[in-house]
Amino acid sequence: MFETELQSTETIELLNGTTINFLLIKKYRRSIGLKITKDGLIVHAPILMTKSSIKKAIISKQKWIESKLDLINVSPITFSISSLQTFNLLGKAMTLQCSTGPKKIFVKGDECFLSFNDLNNQEKLKKYFVKWLKDYALDYFKARVYLHSKNNNLIVNNVLLSNAKTKWGTCNYKREVRLNWRLIQASTFIIDYVICHELSHLKFMNHSKQFWDLVEDIFPDYKEAQKQLKLIGFHLYQLD
């Protein structure tokens, strides 16, 4: 059976007179879901749900929507590859130290030493840095996934990186776990939660009570990790 999905850009006026645009995605599902990403509000709704019902649901969540939109409307810090620029690695602030020379990056203490042949070429420099960060992320993620899967008798066939804009991780029927590379900036506590969340999908490909019971069993503090991830989520995109 083919899955039908309809997308459109809609506009709604909130109770305070503020007008916002949102992406509406309608498909076969039972309930409406709202998500705030760095690009704004995304609404997932049942394919037969009327626009008036959708807008009523949005208005009922107005305070939540406004609080989340306020976070992403704050001017982001422009990230450039230069000495004394800071970024987060596993939840810890790292300071870049850049020098001209053969391509090389390594971490020592709370500093990241980067050597590059042309420090004035910001485009190539950033591409090189992000590639190193992705490689670092994949190595770390693999080690943590295999540790948690072994401890909980779960079989994972592969660990891959994701560049998703709305998801921190996914798991499929091939028993592949994909993790958003940007998570390498988050704390180990948050990363482990996302990993355990995805590993739980190896048994339950849904978000049923059984699924959440399993998440809690293998990661008891998952609710606290969820809160922390929601608070920092938008900031993990500053490297883009």
Which pLDDT tens digits describe the chain residue by residue (240 residues)? 345 678 888 888 877 777 888 899 998 888 898 888 777 889 999 998 998 899 899 989 888 887 777 666 554 556 889 999 999 999 999 999 999 999 999 999 999 999 999 999 999 999 999 999 999 999 999 999 999 999 999 999 999 999 987 789 999 999 999 999 999 999 999 999 999 999 999 999 988 999 999 999 999 999 999 989 988 887 888 887
Q: Which three-class secondary structure state does DSSP give residue 158?
A: strand
Give every CB contact of residue 48 below 8 A, 6+ residues apart in sequence: none
Give every CB contact of residue 217 below 8 A, 6+ residues apart in sequence: none
Rounded CA-CA distance 134/180 in Å is 9
- The torsion angles phi and psi of 44, rounded to 5 degrees, stand at -100, 120
Q: The dihedral of CA 206, 209, 211, 216: what is its sign?
A: positive
Give every CB contact of residue 144 below 8 A, 6+ residues apart in sequence: 188, 191, 192, 195
Instruction: Retrieve residue 194's tokens.
Output: 């996302």
Question: Model-level pTM?
Answer: 0.75
pLDDT of res. 83: 94
Instruction: Retrieve residue 220's tokens.
Output: 């008891």
Domain boundaries, the chain: 5-73, 86-237
Alpha-carbon Rg for the chain in angstroms: 20
Q: Which CATH number fits domain 86-237: 3.30.160.20, 3.30.2010.10, 3.30.230.70, 2.40.50.140?
A: 3.30.2010.10
Residue with tokens 């006026």: 13
pLDDT of res. 2: 43
Rounded CA-CA distance 25/42 in Å is 8
Instruction: Retrieve residue 36's tokens.
Output: 């705030």
